[in-house]
Amino acid sequence: MEAMRILLVDDVHLERMQLAMRLQRLGHVVEAVASGHEAIEKYPLFDPDLLLLDVSMPDMSGTEVAEQIRIKHPDWVPIIFLSGHDEPEMIAKAIDMGGDDYIVKPVNKIVLAAKLKAMQRIAHMRHQLKDTTKSLEQANEKLSQQVNEDGLTKLANRRYLDSKLAEFISWHGRNNFPLTLIMLDVDHFKLFNDHYGHLEGDRCLQAVATELKKNFSRAGELAARYGGEEFVIALSNCDKTRAVRECERLKLCIQQLEIPHSKSTTADIVTVSQGMVSWVPTGLETVENMYEIVDRVLYKAKEQGRNRFVAAEFT
């Protein structure tokens, strides 16, 4: 059975040292402190498997320490009280105050060893439970990521975008803050795919997505794949003046990728067209309506020659 980390709390120096030595000889890791306040301070740092706690201490009783630890640290760790009193009422009170067992002083070696074996089994099961819980949390996190993530670009997918944009609209409407929505489209992407092949087409989209993730990953910013070669960026608390700067920055970032596009009638590298709308929501707008509006603005950018952005106010 694996060794336990035991936090020993006893204000009597000699008894504390003697018991600490016994525990160490049994193969456990021991942290011994002299007061309840020290125990409360040391507890989260030491992360014990077991707390051996003297009931009668001058600064703070053992039951008070146990009560504080149970409140501050919901992750249950067994507590064994130590006391020179063997009255049934005292034992019952100690258990009611958060204890799991009770040992009468002077501590009998055989009794101590037996109780520690029982606690080792509990500690082992507790560690297994924590490991299982951690594995489940990691699995759930991965599953959640897969559900909300576009498989090719690793950006947020359309499903997650719809959900977050609805939240953005509602929150900005309640707080009277400006919201910006940018829709961008890779220029002449069908020609790129036909000429370079679908594998290179995928790599192109991935490169654009990486640039979006790099530039729009702060709190209140969301970059997502809308579908095909179209992407959407939502910017919280962003007015038209700032949004124009973001569109200019994004245009330059994509150009600096210098992805060759010999079949483009706009440039010899991959470029993007952008439609942008900034407004202060009422909170009543629908996600579908906002997509329609920003898509129309994007279409104007394409009509005007591509590799540019068109900004519009929504009222």
Q: Which residues are catalytic?
A: 229
What is the rounded distance in angstroms from the CA atom of residue 127 to the CA atom of residue 131?
Answer: 6
Cα-Cα end-to-end distance for the chain? 70
Both tokens of 212, joined, read: 């979006």
The residue assigned the tokens 């008894």 is 15
Residues with Cβ within 8 Å of residue 204, at least 6 apart in sequence: 186, 189, 192, 196, 259, 270
Q: How far is CA 56 from CA 7, 42, 158, 190, in A?
A: 16, 19, 62, 80
Q: Are 4 and 116 in contact (CB under 8 A)?
A: yes
Instruction: Give the number of other CB atoms < 10 A from CB of residue 36.
Output: 24
122 burial via Cβ count (<10 Å: 0-12, 13-18, 19+)? middle
